[in-house]
Chains A and B, each alone.
Chain A
């Protein structure tokens, strides 16, 4: 009997640690982590990469990345990235941040690192809620969205409107790449990977600061099933946070 030869067409990325993540079913973090490690492998920079973990559900991201990792205090990832990158410019530094991290407690650090054109890459996960602390209002929480701290829905007259990160950073001169993507369907997930790849390539080429926002899901804290959560990103978040490229210098 003839033995059939099988060929791997897809294998576990070398940059990914082989372990079960702590993320909830339908959470977007796992997808974005996977895209990131695939890009790291494809660009051959695993031995140069440093992932900066924020405070939030992805605080343990360095446990899943088979390369160097650094924790940052809540909101301070861009400052930590600045320190790391200024010392070793050949490293590939990625700050991975959530919406509370980047647009509430760490707004100053985010804006100023971008404004200096620091040569690192930010992946900004916008899921319109604080996940790890149990579902409080984020700076990106939608108008009328019910959270633990907006029990009757977000009232912009009281706590302001949701902040658009890409548009805010797009007022600055220095960033070379700003794009908003999503992982709510397959097509957009591939676009997200392309954007992450561009952002990290920019860094390798020493071109400056790249910012990739990913509209993501939090079924647990939204109180939705995973499929419904994906649809909510498409139907509720995307109209307010339009997908697309804002800058590609």
Chain B
């Protein structure tokens, strides 16, 4: 995203810390979280930085409590964030569903680790389904941003707060343990400068009618469907306006790799090496996993004989890829799971095998 090659403002930061600092740059002044590896740098950073900027850091008694503190702070009109990793995000789904129903804006960070269950603490992409299909109960969506670099961890954090306020929605930043833990040079982003009125916030009914923040819709009979249709209209607007992706050497690509986050970095390396050998490979990288950038993928895959979906899971995003491209029989899959990484050589071997 950041095409600025000026090195003078560059600093070295861990992904998790870059994200936390960018949240503060974006105006986030409330953070509620609960420790879990591999995202612990986020709460530690916030614990130190929030008091310096007049903000509030609070270590909650659980992920359930943390997300409900987020719900309360968002209802009060604040820019607010929580972060966790896969098992903790499962616990937060209850609150995320209520936040969807009550149409509150917030940012939730998932630095994914291996699962199911306690799994392990290495980076993984096993939560794609949970992230893009809602995760909690009911008819709802969250915007899902998938950074691939430390720079993007920061840039997308700034974007996340604007999108959250613009649409009164949860924006999920979906990173993984490798991305959270790695250090890279970055230029810290600037605040967007956008401001959003929040006349619905709970601030006390002084000089106005009481505001109510709730997802319950009992009466009349069709009241809940009405709410769901309002949400659906919002989701369609987001699908139309907010898809983000990167197409890398796709114009003439006969072999297209599709990936996001850490696995897309490995894919980019494979594309560069294949190109050196004269093989027309390209990479389509998601930046939003929901909304899924289907049109851009159709364009990028127009000339592809084969489409190889590469994930740090046993195949989740591939379903969206197949739903999006023409002639989905072209779509193949390579993935590693449980905290293991896809290998450049294996990607190259598979692409070359398609040519034979």
The binding surface of chain B is classed by DSSP as mixed
Which of B65, B78, B203 is close to A79, meaning CB atoms less than 8 Å apart? B65
Q: Of the 9-residue stretches B8-16, B213-221, B289-297, which lies at the interface with chain A?
A: B213-221
In the complex, the answer to whether B202 meets A84 with C-beta atoms within 8 Å is yes
Task: Give the chain A neighbours of B212 by CB distance below 8 A.
Answer: 62, 68-71
Number of contacts between A and B (CB, 8 Å)? 135
In the complex, the answer to whether A76 meets B68 with C-beta atoms within 8 Å is yes
Classify chain B: how many residues form its interface, as a range. 35 or more
* Minimum CB distance partner of B56 in chain A: A86
Q: Does B3 make an interface contact (CB < 8 A)?
A: no
CA distance A211 to B61 in the complex (A): 19
Q: C-beta contact mask, A70-107 vs B, less than 8 Å → 1, else 0?
A: 11110010011111111110111000000000000000
Task: Give the chain A neighbours of B56 by CB distance below 8 A.
Answer: 86-87
Q: Does B266 make an interface contact (CB < 8 A)?
A: no
In the complex, the answer to whether A82 meets B211 with C-beta atoms within 8 Å is no
Q: Does B238 make an interface contact (CB < 8 A)?
A: no
CB neighbors of B among A52-69 (8 A) = 53, 59-60, 62, 65-69
Q: C-beta contact mask, B93-112 vs A, less than 8 Å → 1, else 0?
A: 01100100010000000000
CA distance A143 to B66 in the complex (A): 35
The binding surface of chain A is classed by DSSP as mixed
Known: A66-B210, A68-B210. A83 touches B205 (CB 8 A): no
Q: Does B72 make an interface contact (CB < 8 A)?
A: yes
CA distance A194 to B175 in the complex (A): 52
Which of B74, B98, B206 is close to A48, meaning CB atoms less than 8 Å apart? B206
Task: Give the chain A neighbours of B71 by CB distance below 8 A.
Answer: 72-73, 76, 79-80, 83
Which of A46, A65, A88 is close to B76, meaning CB atoms less than 8 Å apart? A88
Task: Give the chain A neighbours of B58 by CB distance below 8 A.
Answer: 82, 86
* Minimum CB distance partner of A72 in chain B: B68
In the complex, the answer to whether A68 meets B73 with C-beta atoms within 8 Å is no
A-B contact pairs, 25 of them (CB 8 A): A46-B205, A47-B207, A49-B204, A65-B210, A66-B210, A67-B205, A68-B210, A68-B212, A70-B202, A73-B68, A73-B71, A76-B68, A81-B72, A83-B70, A83-B71, A83-B73, A86-B30, A87-B72, A87-B73, A87-B76, A87-B80, A109-B64, A109-B65, A109-B68, A111-B61
